[in-house]
Amino acid sequence: MRDVRMTELAKLLIEHSTAMQAGEHLLIEAFDAPDAMVIELINACRARGAHPHVVVRSSRILRSLVEGGDETQFEVMGQADLDRMKRMDAYIGLRGGFNVNEMSGVPEDRLKAWGALYGKPVHTQQRVNHTRWCVLRWPTPSMAQLAGTSTEAFENFYFDVCTLDYKAMANAAAALQARMVATNDVHIKGPGDTDLRFSIKDIPAIPCTGSHNIPDGEVFTAPVRDSINGVIHYNTPSVYQGTTFRNVRLVFKDGRIVEHDAEVGAQQLAAIFDTDDGSRYVGEFAIGFNPYVLEPMMDILFDEKIAGSLHFTPGQAYEDADNGNRSDIHWDLVLIQRADYGGGEIIFDGETIRRDGEFIVDDLLPLNADQLKQS
């Protein structure tokens, strides 16, 4: 039986997120996602007169390929998929997963080689910068377990959050984009010993309101590369390269991570931050405001959009908000500043714009959860 929620989501992805036009080519890459959703995307794409292309993948198969693969294999795979990506106008990544730790235990040198020879050329350099793209998760029992809900309840939450009124969100986010473009100095205060200062002067700010991720709800920029000083203590767990991290704490001096620690995963941090020179610098600063995403579930496509959060990302910068940092990593780490998570402030050029997760200046009030839910 056809699920009308899939039909509605496919329509949103094709018409709003990727804005497919007649004659264009779309790559649909589906990891552990149901055939029915892929077919809905194919149908919605063809209804616009565009050409769908499909790759169906398995996370368990990918683990086997990466764990036992060598540089020659990764390079050929990367070259082949890079050629296809260059022919695409748009990309939709539908990413399910039955085990969030599927890549756990894969040797670090294999993960780094895969990232450098496949992930970087195909996705970081080509797909991100030269296609219209949207990446989203697919609800699975594993994700429901992380969210602490039943599978049915999580599916209902998933479709609610993925199909909210993103046009209304875009209108509200324009004011935050304008403020970030006009801002020089940023000061972040938060739980623990979080006290961080940096500049975002002359770096573009990009609103994300259903175009690049579903669910969505952030505006991102990048810090001036060498301007960061102070401490940030993230209070949201993270799964990165198959390993779970909790309470990551970073100390910055002149833009560079000079100290790092974590309550869980501390022993893996050095290897990540020594991937290359750029991995000890930050490539993204973003403010999250999705009104339906309130609690961490160790899935970054959801967690980085949490209402009242920000993320501060070691690694590669995006070309459309570029501070010049280049790296094979891009690790979104999230700090929630709502009162129930310890509070905190975001201060732009001496003015507090958000306190304890709530915007407090008039032009940004429409981004608070109570108003976005009414849109």
Whether residues 214 and 68 fall in one domain: no
pTM of the shown model: 0.78
Are 363 and 175 in contact, with CB atoms under 8 Å apart?
yes
Whether residues 149 and 174 fall in one domain: no
pLDDT of residue 317: 96
Q: Are strands 185-189 and 132-137 parallel, antiparallel or unpaired?
A: unpaired
User: Which of the listed residues 162, 193, 219 is the one where a domain comes to its end?
Assistant: 162
pLDDT of residue 375: 63
pLDDT of residue 104: 85
Whether residues 202 and 315 fall in one domain: yes
Whether residues 152 and 52 fall in one domain: yes
Whether residues 128 and 156 fall in one domain: yes
Q: What's the CATH number where 86 sits?
A: 3.40.1830.10
Cβ neighbour number for residue 264 with a 10 Å cutoff: 14
The tally of domains found in the chain comes to: 2
Whether residues 154 and 220 fall in one domain: no
* Segments of the chain scoring below 70 in pLDDT: 1, 375
Whether residues 236 and 88 fall in one domain: no
Query: Cα–Cα distance between 139 and 63 in angstroms, integer?
Result: 20
User: Which of the listed residues 110, 137, 162 is the one where a domain comes to its end?
Assistant: 162
With tokens 């100390």, the residue in question is 251
Query: Checking phi first, is residue 154 left (phi over 0); if not, alpha (psi -120 to 50) or beta?
Result: alpha
Whether residues 136 and 247 fall in one domain: no
Whether residues 227 and 335 fall in one domain: yes
Whether residues 22 and 70 fall in one domain: yes
pLDDT of residue 299: 84
Are 14 and 89 in contact, with CB atoms under 8 Å apart?
no
User: Which of the listed residues 162, 181, 199 is the one where a domain comes to its end?
Assistant: 162
Whether residues 293 and 345 fall in one domain: yes
The DSSP symbol for 64 reads: H
Q: Which domain holds residue 303?
A: 166-372
Strand boundaries in 39-80, DSSP class E: 51-57
- Angle at 255 (CA atoms; ends 253, 261), nearest 5 degrees: 60
> How many residues are present in the chain?
375
pLDDT of residue 143: 82
Whether residues 237 and 349 fall in one domain: yes
